[in-house]
Amino acid sequence: MSPSVALQEMIRAIRSARTQCEERGVIQRECAAIRAQFRQADNGGRSHNLAKLLYVHMLGYPAHFGQMECVRMIASPHYSEKRVGYLGAMMLLDEKQDASLLITNSIKNDLSHSNQYVQSLALCTLACMGSAEMCRDLAPEIDRLLRGTNSYIKKKAALCAVHIVRKVQDLGELFAPAARSLLSEKNHGVLYGAVVLITELCAWNPETLELFRKTVPDLVQIMKGLVISGYSPEHDVAGVSDPFLQVRILRLLRILGRNNEAASDAMNDLLAQVATNTDSTKTVGNAVLYETVLTVLDIKSESGLRILAVNILGRFLLNNDRNIRYIAMTCLQKIVGTDHNAVQRHRGTIVDCLKDQDASVKRRALELSLALVSASNIRSMMKELLLFLSSCPPDLRAEAGSGIFNAAERYAPSQRWHIDTILHVLTTAGGDMRDETVPNLIQLITNASELHCYTVHKLYRALLTDISQQPLVQVACWCIGEYGDLLLRGECQETEPVQVTEDDVLDALETVLQSHMSSPATRAFALTATMKLSTRITDNVDRIRSIVSIYGSCIDVELQQRAVEYNALFKKYDHMRAAVLERMPVIERNSPGHTNGVSVGEAVKEIQPAEVKQGLLQQNANQVCDLLDLLGGSEEPVQPSLAQSSTAPGMSVNTASTAGGDLLDLLGGLEPTPHAPAPTLTAYEKHGVTLTLSCEKQSDSGLTVTLTASNSTDSDISSFTLQAAVPKSVQLHMKAPSGDSLPARGTAKVTQMVVVNNPNKVKLKMRLRISYTRQGSAFQDTVQIDSFPEVSTAGH
Amino acid sequence: QHVFMLFRQGKLRLQKWYVPLSDKERKKISRDLVQTILARKPKMCSFLEWRDLKIVYKRYASLYFCCAVEDQDNELITLEIIHRYVELLDKYFGSVCELDIIFNFEKAYFILDEFLLGGEAQETSKKNVLKAIEQADLLQEEAEAPRSVLEEIGLT
């Protein structure tokens, strides 16, 4: 194998160039020389020139003028030129280039060449970059080669067929019979190719899958041969005979055994054998074990086998090799839903992995830990998770924080613990939390009426130490505003008493108001809190008046508006001030314990009254507009504040506007009421399967659609899945369905929530694809929903 | 799988793409991937998630070998595939070093093409792969050798 001198010279010249500029100069010269030589009709050094060009291309320089040369060289009778020509084709041409079509004929000729190495070049190129048309043209050729006798070619043809099937799924039927017969080959290479081909065929076509289920015994036989039989030096890797083939066969068995009892039964023994006999000290062994575990967990295996699989994963978790631990956690994540108890046993190890240095491992450990939190281990898990939060990388913070909140919501052993936890999170990572944590926390606090004193003390102290975390500051301001009198009273059973004077409190609020770190929303909170204190404290009302009037000329429109309103409250409506600024009522909310998907929808509806207030506070333009609309589109600035403050029930506000009467009625409706059943629409009704949908509007652009499916036929339906598509500017988020089987005669239903966000207010349409299996055959149907039922804003 | 790459500190030594992408896209993806992998610390896990693919990489001396595989692929066996390729190079070049791969890059590609086809492994026996390469090389030498008299008169 004499390397081309000219090529080596050129490479040396390029490498010795010291600067980018010098290198470019060398390359330009070389390219010019190459181009000149390409133009010359026939010379001996063609392959070397093309090789030079390919090197240049690899460095990143343009080389498209070599495409035609590639085509010419592929057609040349000389092997060396063909070899480089095909290499060039794979590197420079891809199916998007027009020149690729020109080589189709050459490939066709070479596929029937007498020399197998030429054939293999053609096969390789086709498998690497064959376009759909090329594949269609050459598929019969490939089939012919599959049925030939040359093992070397057969194995390549099989993989080429895989590529063809990926490009043009219909051609799968062409290759199915040939693939079947290939399974009886002895040559490992051909077997491997055959298994990959069958896997691919089964992936695209469920009927082919049925057909190949019959091959399960053969596959089991082959595996047994591999695992038990003697040592074959050719295929052995560190004591495992042909791990590549083993892994592939296991993967195929997984696909064949999924959802099929009979096939799964046939595999049980084999899987147990592989799991116990494979040596797991080296990576190869672990690779095979991993694939075995994946297969066991995916098919309908017996419980003993599943426990074995989970134990193997447990062993992986204790392995020193980080890769193995990562893999184990990925796998456990998949089964934590179904085999929850088994995974719980390994909770300790998983929590330890939270402290690992590697970011990928940390992420996996976080996801898994959040999934493992339950009522019994909540305290210890939370301690670990909070520790993790203080030291975790910034991109994981938001995820960790929201996970902690969800967990706390579901399993909080006591309200005080819950509040403490949330406060802890806010102090550590408040900046990364989502916006809805603030209203959620406020709602939680109002619910825990006996803890008001404790809470406000804690928050006050937190406020004194640090005012940079916006959510924390917002909650603290709100609480101080509401419960300032408790703070000033000074004593509290649950924390050490501290003397707080009115001046201290007002100082704290003023600091927040004036600090450059406070966002506009936070300032709004602080201003309102200051105002509320005017009724709770006795001495410094004048100070409050002066603070409020200063902001009457603030640049920020929201603050100015509030300040002006509050001033008005002082001047004209002083007699109403006490009533207006009364304590907020306790906000009803759904009991925790729902899955997050479901409760989000409902909890948001219930706290709508609070959200109306919070919406105003957080400058949520949408909700403010809603409210103003409710008030009849009145322009007067006095309206919103009265609306905000009159949520105190049973209060008669003598407003200056004629909309006052309407106001009360509307606000009466704002109190939490059991919401009217949302309008429903029957979206689909065929073959006994009925799908209804109901919509609830969450916000100006958000909508929650609940899809309910029921089955009125006499036979059960399984693997019921829904897929949805919406127009481009709309965002769609599907929550997990309640199940995937519909028993006969409508005894149980399946519901699935879909959250839709329509910021551009386009006409909402949804296309649903329904697929299910009934009596052993798969059904699929599509339905388009063009008109959604008119919905009213929740709580209205 | 989608792509197989070798690189060292920012210089790509070999790249094989199994999905159709334009040149510009390929450059962008390679740059992105290379940067992500170079940013990893030495003791870290060999697997990472990138866009919607899984990346498996391994470092041999100063060279990084990296594969982008799909979700259902087994990462551990991909590590083995990378290792097998390195072994093949080693056997072929006799104690391979980076310079070998630079100066004989087309040979490195040929070996890769004998081992992987269309993104999947085609031959699980090291011996067979090396034998095939040997034969193909012989064929190439014969082709390059001065043509024999018989050929000239058209008998071969």
Q: Is B99 on the interface with A (CB under 8 A)?
A: no
Cα A153 to chain center, whole Å? Answer: 42
**CB-based contact B120 A159, cutoff 8 Å:** yes
Q: Is A196 on the interface with B (CB under 8 A)?
A: yes
DSSP of A657-680: STTHHHHHHHHHHHS--PPPPPPE
A152 to chain B, closest Cα gap in Å: 9
Q: Which residue has the tokens 């919501």?
A: A409
Q: Is B117 on the interface with A (CB under 8 A)?
A: yes
CATH value of A680-785 in 1.10.1270.20, 3.50.50.60, 3.90.700.10, 2.60.40.1230: 2.60.40.1230
Query: Which of 732-771 (A) contact B at CB < 8 A?
Result: none
d(CA A145, CA A147): 5
Q: Which two tokens stand for residue A318?
A: 């204790």
A324 to chain B, closest Cα gap in Å: 8
- Best mutation target among A159, A313, A356 (most B Cβ atoms within 10 Å) is A159
Q: What is the pLDDT of residues A76-109, one digit of tens each?
A: 888 888 888 888 888 888 767 777 778 888 888 8
| Average pLDDT over all residues of chain A | 75
Nearest CA in chain B to A60: B27
Q: Which residues contact B81 (CB under 8 A, 6 or more apart)?
A: A244, B67, B116, B121
d(CA A174, CA A166): 13
Measured in residues, chain A has a length of 796
**CB-based contact A189 B15, cutoff 8 Å:** no
Q: What is the pLDDT of residues A563-617, one digit of tens each?
A: 888 888 878 877 777 777 777 776 665 434 333 333 333 333 333 344 444 434 4
Q: Could you tell me the domains of chain B?
A: 3-146 (3.30.450.60)
Q: What is the pLDDT of residue A670?
A: 39
Query: Which of 10-69 (B) contact A at CB < 8 A?
Result: 12-18, 20-22, 27, 41, 43-49
Query: Which of 463-482 (A) contact B at CB < 8 A?
Result: none
Paired with A724 in beta bridges are A768
Q: Which residue has the tokens 């998949």?
A: A334
Q: H helices within A40-98, ranges in order?
A: 46-59, 67-74, 79-92
Least confident piece of the model among A91-100, A200-209, A663-672, A714-723: A663-672
Stronger pLDDT, B108 or A670, i.e. the higher one: B108
Q: Is A339 on the interface with B (CB under 8 A)?
A: no
Q: What is the pLDDT of residue A5?
A: 66
**CB-based contact A322 B74, cutoff 8 Å:** no
Least confident piece of the model among A67-81, A501-515, A659-673, A741-755: A659-673
Least confident piece of the model among A37-46, A522-531, A706-715, B30-39: A37-46
Say if residues A93 and A127 touch (Cβ distance below 8 Å). no
Nearest CA in chain B to A292: B74
Q: Which residues contact A416 (CB under 8 A, 6 or more apart)?
A: A448, A451, A454, A494
SS3 at position A513: helix
Q: What is the pLDDT of residues B55-114, one digit of tens each?
A: 899 988 888 898 888 888 888 888 889 999 999 999 998 888 888 888 888 889 999 988
CB-nearest to A235 from B77, B81, B125 is: B125
**CB-based contact B74 A287, cutoff 8 Å:** yes
CB-nearest to A322 from B45, B105, B137 is: B45
CA distances (Å), A138 to each of A97, A133, A144, A308, in order? 19, 9, 10, 47
d(CA A284, CA A270): 18
Q: What is the pLDDT of residue A620?
A: 40
d(CA A22, CA A731): 51
Residue A474 has pLDDT above 50, yes or no: yes
Q: What is the pLDDT of residues A149-185, one digit of tens each?
A: 888 888 888 888 888 888 888 888 888 888 888 888 8
Please report, for chain A, the start and end positions of each structural domain, with discontinuous segments joined by +.
424-581, 680-785
pTM here is 0.67
Percent of chain A at pLDDT > 90 equals 0
Q: What is the pLDDT of residue A703?
A: 77
Q: Is A200 on the interface with B (CB under 8 A)?
A: no
Cα A720 to chain center, whole Å? Answer: 22
Residue A123 has pLDDT above 80, yes or no: yes
Nearest CA in chain A to B26: A60
Q: Which residues contact B134 (CB under 8 A, 6 or more apart)?
A: none
SS3 at position A393: coil
CB-nearest to A283 from B17, B79, B137 is: B79
User: Looking at residues A666-670, what average pLDDT do you find?
Assistant: 37
Residue A795 has pLDDT above 50, yes or no: no
How many beta-carbon pairs below 8 A join chains A and B? 164
Q: Which residues contact A477 (CB under 8 A, 6 or more apart)?
A: A463, A509, A512, A522, A525, A526, A528, A529
- Contact residues, chain A, for B79 at CB < 8 Å: 283, 287, 323
- Contact residues, chain A, for B144 at CB < 8 Å: 2, 80
